[in-house]
Amino acid sequence: MQMKEITYKEALREAMVEEMRRDEDIIFLGEDIGVYGGGFGVSYGMIEEFGEERVRDTPISEAAIAGCAAGAAATGLRTIMEIMFSDFITIAMDVIVNQAAKMRYMFGGKVQVPMVVRCPGGSGTGAAAQHSQCLEAWMCHIPGLKVVAPSTPADAKGLLKAAIRDNNPVIFYENKLLYKTTGLVPTEDYVLELGKANITKEGSDITVVNYGRMLERCEKAAEILKAQGIDAEIIDLRTLYPMDKETIIKSVCKTGRALIVHEASKTGGLGGEISASIVESEAFDYLKAPIKRLAGKDVPIPYNPQLEKAVVPDTDEIVEEIKSLINR
């Protein structure tokens, strides 16, 4: 398989462009996605190829964007919508939670809602409390939605293509700090199955479950610890719902220890759900230490750069948490 190195942002653009070339029923909606090329430049140049009918600049109204996307999806089109900052999904919650997520069930499967909601999220850009949140755990609580959070360019492209082809609404989280990161991506057409985690590093001493931009920090921590004789297994969830619990449980049965790392606030975050899944499974009998969660602080994201860094787990914290679990 031939590979090329591109950025996370370019991988997302390629996924949308290739799918829109493949299927003329796909339309793309959002604020400034057309002429401007998107708030983060992901859709730059797409309006020149597909025109204003298929790449539609919208008013500043997330509720209107979501309503149009859900309605169009329910009546025969496939829709991609971009929320410029994932925080603003709150304005579109009625459409997403009460309409898009429920229609297929309420109409006995006669209505499909092939709709992707792209949500740039996360801290680290100095965007402060209203433009930096990680709200993915909310979406995982809503039956009828699928939730995806890719960590690498290759995963971003393969998972976005899969999400666009899916007949259900998919909330697609893109961490803003990953847009400029680079990685090898296949040159041929490919999709990645939703609901399958990826073991990026095998190990025997502890299972480290993570997603999004925490993957890079977890992998760096594993490199540091390997030199100290600690062998960590790294699991990148990729899809948050449906979650690949089988891979997590199998890994914990092997290692006997588990650390869950995410950027989102700890209370009510996915770490608690993952912990419960381990405890309720056969992996509980293999645990050599308590399950630990390392997550964002339960505070609004500060504007001050040093405080902003302090509220999100870093590589050193991951190293120390792993060492504490190994040494219990």
What single string gives the DSSP state of each residue in 268-324? TSHHHHHHHHHHTSGGGGG-SS--EEEEE-SSPPPSSHHHHHHTS--HHHHHHHHHH
Residue of 10, 14, 19, 62 marked catalytic:
62
Instruction: Indicate which residue of 82, 131, 262, 321 is catalytic.
Output: 131
- Reduced to 3 DSSP states, what percent helix, strand and coil does the chain have, rounded to the nearest 5? 40, 20, 40
Q: How far apart are CA 26 and CA 29, in angstroms?
A: 10
Torsion from C-alpha of 196, 199, 233, 185, nearest 10 degrees? -140
Unique residue bearing structure tokens 């390392």: 294
SS3 197: coil
Please indicate whether residue 262 is annotated as part of the active site: no
Name 231's Cβ contacts closer than 8 Å, sequence gap at least 6. Answer: 203, 204, 205, 206, 225
Bridge partner residues of 78 (DSSP)? 26
HSE, side-chain direction, 13 A CA sphere, residue 123:
29
Spatial CA neighbour of 251 closest among 225, 277, 224: 277
Q: Could you please report the per-residue DSSP string of 40-71?
A: TSTTTTHHHHHHHHHEEE--S-HHHHHHHHHH
Told to judge if 233 belongs to the known catalytic residues of this protein, a careful annotator would answer: no
Helix H or strand E segment including 205: none
Measuring CA to CA, which residue among 219, 233, 153 is closest to residue 192? Answer: 153
Mind telling me the catalytic residues? 62, 131
